[in-house]
Structures are given as structure tokens and as C-alpha cells.
Structure 1
Amino acid sequence: MKRYAVYKTASAPASRTTGSVALALAAIAFLAKRFGLIDADVFVLSLIAAATIALATILLALFGFHRIWTYGGPGVPAALTGLFLGLLALATPVLVVGMLVMHSGASDLATNRTDPPELETNVASSEQPFLDWLNTALVEDVWPAVAAYTGAAPGMTAMANSAEDRLYPDIVPRRYRISTAQLHAASVKALEGLNWQVVDELPPDLLDAPTYLQAEGTSQILGLKHDIVLRVRPDSVGALLDVRSRSRTPLKDLTDNADRIRLVFSEIDRVLLETYGDLARLSVDETELEEDLPAEPVEDLRETIPLPSFKPYFEDEDAPVAEGLDAVDLEG
């Protein structure tokens, strides 16, 4: 009995090999970035390479299925393995792109837009020319074109122009009915609770003196660095708190700068609640404040000059007498 040669496709085992390479590259890049072993540019370029290899893996696996369906022969387990590894290798690039789309807010956000707290300890962002170019191209070219095509130009334009007042209406300065020294102590306790390292501090020397705090934090997923600045100044109510959050890279994680400012406020509220108990009498809403009106002068309707109700006199004979006054004998 004549035996015919069994057809064997080469694309199925090739997809399994390339899928293993893509998954290993994506996993190594993710772990290296999480522990700070590589910078943002190397991380993004590694993800682009891993995504390219993963797409090639998926195409090879699909082509292998087609050849096996047409000509028969073994290779289905290898093609399934390659397809699974290719899809798994795409998970990290898709996650990064998804976080960029979902958290496409400002990389530097403050509660006071006109007078934000300054970074006293100037921490410069790492050298990332490719990522800076990519972020600029996305903001200036890609997103406006997509917005114009989909008809969502107003929202994208506001996002591109960093219209924080419209995007973050709740990110505003907050006032507290306590002294600046007390609010500074609560802020230090809040930063400790968030596991953010304080890198610069201006402690209060008086109860109503302005204070300053700057801390450094790390995101949970990608290990991205960000700077947090808290500025406490005396106010007519008690103390005025301004917060600023700045990302050192255009990459985004599960939380953005607006979320970090909200987290600072909530943590300070928790500390004040544990310390004083009644938070409602400490925090002041902006809507409760009235504009400070200039004091109106009080007009005196009387025509005569007001005189004191008693005359000063000296009990002791040796007491000093005002100069320029003649002695008068009251008995004579």
C-alpha cells in the first residue's frame, strides 16, 4: 500500500517560537521599568518591538491554521500555543496604551492655576527624547485629527489646551479653620500614610507662618515617579492649602495628577478626623466664603468733639506733671 507524505506546515511551530520571544521581551521590559532599571524611552521602544513580534506571531498562527485546514497534517497544538503567546504578549502594550487614553490629562496640575506652588527641590525629568516627541505628536497632530473626524473637537481641544478649570472643577484650594502649623502637621502625617517620601520641607516657626512640603511618590503598576507639593499659607479663615502634582514622564498609570491631588485631600481629611473628630467645623467650602468687602468709614454726626467721661488725675505728689501746664490753686 502506497503511503503519501504527510503535509507539515512551518508557520505553526514558527508562531510558537516568535510568541515566546515576544512574551519574554514584554515581560522583561515591564519588570525592568517597574523596578527602575530602564528609562521610559527604552521601555516604550521595547514594548513597540514586543507588540510588532506579537502581531507577526498572530499572523503566523492564523496562516498555520489556514494551511492545516487546507492540506491537513499536524501543527494545531503549535499554532494554538503561538496564538495564545502572541495575545498574551500584546497585553502589556495594550495596557500602556489604554492608560494613555483613559488618563490623558495634564502632566502638571495645581489647585491654583495662576500661582501654583513652586518646586523648591528642582527634580528634572529623565532624558526621554523619543517619548517627548511621541507625546507631542499625539497632542498636536493625532488627537486633533481624531477629534475633528469624530466630531468631538470641543472636548479634545480643551484637553489639548490644558483647560484645567473645565476638566477638573473640584481641584481648587481648600481652607481650614485651624492654624497653618496644625495643618502642616496633618499634611506631614498624610504623606506618611501615603508612603510618599518628603524631600523638602519648610516647617512652621510660628503658629500662623506659611509652610511648605515637597514629596516624591511612585505609581503602583509601572513605578513612575511623580512630585507632590503642598503649600500652606495663613488665611482669613485659618489656613489655605494649595497642592500641586507633576509627572516626570508622559507615561500614565492607573492614577493621574488629579487623582493624586484628590488622594491628598482625602488623606488630610482622614488625619484631621482622627485628630479633632469633627471635620465639618474645620474644612471650609469655597461656596461658603463671601468676598471680603472694604471696611466703610464710620461717620460721626456730632458737631462737638467727644470728651472722655473722666479727667485724669495723679494720686501721688511725686508723680510727674505734664509740661506746659500752670499750677492752679483750687482752694484760693
Structure 2
Amino acid sequence: MKRYAVHRTAAAPASRAIASVALAITVTAFFAKRFGFIDADVFVLSLLFSACVALLAFVAAVVAFQRIWSKGGPGVPAALTAVLFAVAALFPPTVVGGMMITSGGVNDVATNQVDPPELKMQAVVEQQPFLNWTTGFLKETAYPFLSGLPQQAALRRFEPDGRTADIVPRRYRIAPGQLHVAGAKALENLNWTIVDELPPDLLDAATRLQAEGETGILGLKFDVVLRIRPDSVGALLDVRSRSRTSLRDLSTNAGQIRTVFDEIDRVLLETYGNLARVSVEEGEEEEELPPIVLEDQRDVIPLPGFKPYFEDTETIDPDAADLPDLEG
């Protein structure tokens, strides 16, 4: 009995090998960026290269399926594995690119865009030439097109200045020094590192806090600033969040500000109970509200959360001072 040679296509094992390389590049780039071994530019370029390799593997798998269909022979499992690996390798670049496109290029959000809190930068944006070029290209092409879509505007609720409608300053009916302590505690609870601080020398003095954090998935660095000033109600809080790169993670700058507000509210609730805070809408007239006097009902004397600082630290010797005798 005559036996015919079985047709074997070389495209099937080749597509599997190429897809394996693409997936390995994607996984390596992700973990290298998460643990800080590469910067954002190298990460994006690695994802772009892995996406190109994955597309090549997908095309090779399609060719393998076509040849197996027309000429028969083995290779279906290898081609299916190539498709699976190619899709897995394409998923992270697609998500990262999609978040960069839909973000609108906003990487600096503040509750007061006219007079934002001062930010001492910890990184230089010029060190990311490829991302800077990509962001500029998207601003000229993709962002204007997406801003015209009504569903995108409704989904993101972005105002023309790039922030969301609920990101506004807040008033708290406590002294600025007390709000400063609550803000520092909130940043500590969020595991963000305080890199700069203007502590209150008096209970009603203006204060400032700057913290450094990183996103949960890619470990992208961002800076958050809390500015606390005296107000007719008690204290006025402004928050600013700025990303150090145009690369996007699942969390946004507006989300970081909301997280700060929520954590401060939680700290104040644990400390003082139900303490009302008032959001400051744009253009509204300042309303004169009476401050709330906090009364501590505990049996023990509470210790202050911070030590007041006074410039004049000289002590007065009562024996050496020439004081009038009040007796007689």
C-alpha cells in the first residue's frame, strides 16, 4: 500500500515561537517597570516592539491555518497556541495606549486651577522624549476628535480646563493646624511619602504638605500637594495632583484628589466625630458661617498632635528679670 507524504507547514511552529517571544517581552517589560528597573520611555518602546512581534506571530498563525485547511497536515495546536500568546502579548499595549488616548492629555489637576498649590517637582519631564512626542501627536490628532464625542464627554465629565466637576476646594470647620495634622495622618495612611512640609507655627497659620506616591499596577510616580489656609469658616483646603509622566495607569490625578478627600474625612470622623465640610463651588460668594468649637468629652487631657514652633526660643529667668513687686 502506497503511503503519501504528510504535508507539514513551517508557519505553525514559527508562529508559536514568535508569539512566545512577544509574550516574554511584554511580561518582562511590565515587571521591569513595576519594580523601577526601566523608565517610562523604555517601557512604552518595549510594549510597542512586543506588539509588532505579536502581530507578526498572529499573521504567521493565520497563514498556518490557511495552509492546514488547504493541504492538511498537523500544526493546529501550535497555531492556536500562537494566537493565544499573541492576544496575551497585545493586551497590555492596547490597554496602555487606550488609556493614553482617552485621558485627554491631562496630567496636572488641582482644585484651584487659577491659583494652584505650589509644587516642587521631583522629576524632569524632559527625560521622556518619546512619550513627550507621543503626547504632542495625540493632542493634535486623537484628543480633538475624542473631545467632540458626546459619550466621551459624558463619561469623563471633564470641564474645559481638564479637571472634573467635583474637584473643588473644601472648607472645614476646624483650625488650619488641626486640618494639617489630619492631612499628614491621611497621607501616612495612604502610604505616600511626605517629601516637603510647612508645619504650622500657630494653630491658625497657613500650612503645606507635599507627598510622593505611586500607582498600584505600573508603579508610576505622582506628586500630591495639600495647601491649608485660614478661612472664615475655619480652614480652606486645596489639593493638587500631578503625574510625572504622560503614561497612564488605572488611577488618575482626579482620583488621587478624591482619595485624599475621602481619607481626610475618615481621619476627621475618627477624631472629632461627624464634622461637616463645605465644598467651594466656582464663582459662589463666600458665605459667613460660624466656626464650630470642638469640645472634647474625654476624661483625659488630650496631647497635641504637633509641637508649636516659635521663633523666639529664649527663656526668661524670673530671678534675673526686673519685675515690680505686686505685694503690698
Q: TM-score, normalised by structure 2?
A: 0.81
1:163 aligns with 2:160: yes
Measure the CA separation in 1 of the matches of 2:194 and 2:83: 47
Contact 1:198/1:213 (8 A) holds in 2: yes
The structure-2 alpha-carbon separation of the partners of 1:72 and 1:262, relative to structure 1 and needing over 3 Å to count, comes to same
Deviation at residue 3 of structure 1 after TM alignment: 1.9
What is the CA RMSD across the aligned residues, in angstroms?
2.3
Structure 1 partner of 2:202: 206
Mapped to 2, the partners of 1:93 and 1:23 lie a distance apart of 11
- Higher Cα Rg: structure 1 or 2? 1
Cα deviation per residue 1:211-255 (whole Å; 9 max; x = unaligned)? 000000000111100000000011111101000000000011111
Instruction: Give percent identity, aligned residues only.
Output: 59
Kindly report which structure 2 residues correspond to 1:150-299, keeping only aligned pairs within 5 A, or say none.
Answer: 152=149, 163-164=160-161, 167-280=163-276, 283-286=277-280, 290-291=285-286
Q: 1:55 matched to which residue of 2? A: 55
Q: Distance in 2 between matches of 1:3 and 1:154?
A: 63
SS at 2:203's partner residue? coil
In the alignment, the residues of structure 2 paired with residue 139 and residue 102 of structure 1 have an alpha-carbon distance, to the nearest angstrom, of 11
Q: Distance in 1 between matches of 2:285 and 2:245?
A: 40
Corresponding residue of 2:113: 113
| One-letter amino acid matched to 2:149 | A
* Structure 2 equivalent of residue 21 of structure 1: 21
Deviation at 1:164, TM superposition (A): 3.0
Equivalent residue number for residue 38 of structure 1: 38
Cα-to-partner distance string for 1:81-129 (whole Å, 9 max, x where unaligned): 1111111111211221232244435101111111101113554336110
Alignment partners' CA distance in 2, 1:292 and 1:270: 25
Deviating 4+ runs (over 3 angstroms): 101-105, 120-123, 153-156, 289-293
Alignment of 1:25-104 (within 5 A): 25-104=25-104
- Whole-angstrom distance in 2 between the partners of 1:9 and 1:115: 66
SS in 1 for 2:168: coil
1:226–1:245 CA contact under 8 A, matched in 2:
yes
Distance 1:272 1:292 in 2: 22
- Does the 8 Å contact 2:210/2:226 carry over to 1? yes
Structure 1, unpaired ranges of 5+? 294-332
Structure 2 runs not aligned, ≥5 long? 289-328
Report the equivalent of 2:302. none
1 CA distance for matches of 2:216 and 2:131?
21
Q: CA deviation at 1:49?
A: 0.6
d(CA) in 1 for partners of 2:123, 2:59: 45
Counterparts in 2 of 1:108 and 1:147: CA distance versus 1, 3 Å: closer
| Distance apart, 1:162 and its partner CA | 7.2
Distance 1:80 1:260, change over 3 A: same
Q: Give me the whole-angstrom Cα distance separating, in 2, the residues matched to 1:205 and 1:26.
A: 51
Aligned to 1:312: none
What's the TM-score, normalizing by structure 1? 0.80
Count of residue pairs brought into register by the alignment: 283
- Deviations along 1:248-269, one digit per CA (max 9) or x if unpaired, are 0001111110000011000000
Contact kept, 8 Å, 1:121 with 1:200, in 2: the verdict is no
- CA deviation profile, 1:179-221 (whole Å, cap 9, x unmatched): 0100000000000111100000010010101100000000011
Structure 2 match to 1:316 = none
1:254-303 deviations in whole A, cap 9, x for unaligned?
Answer: 111000001100000000000001123xx12436x85469xxxxxxxxxx
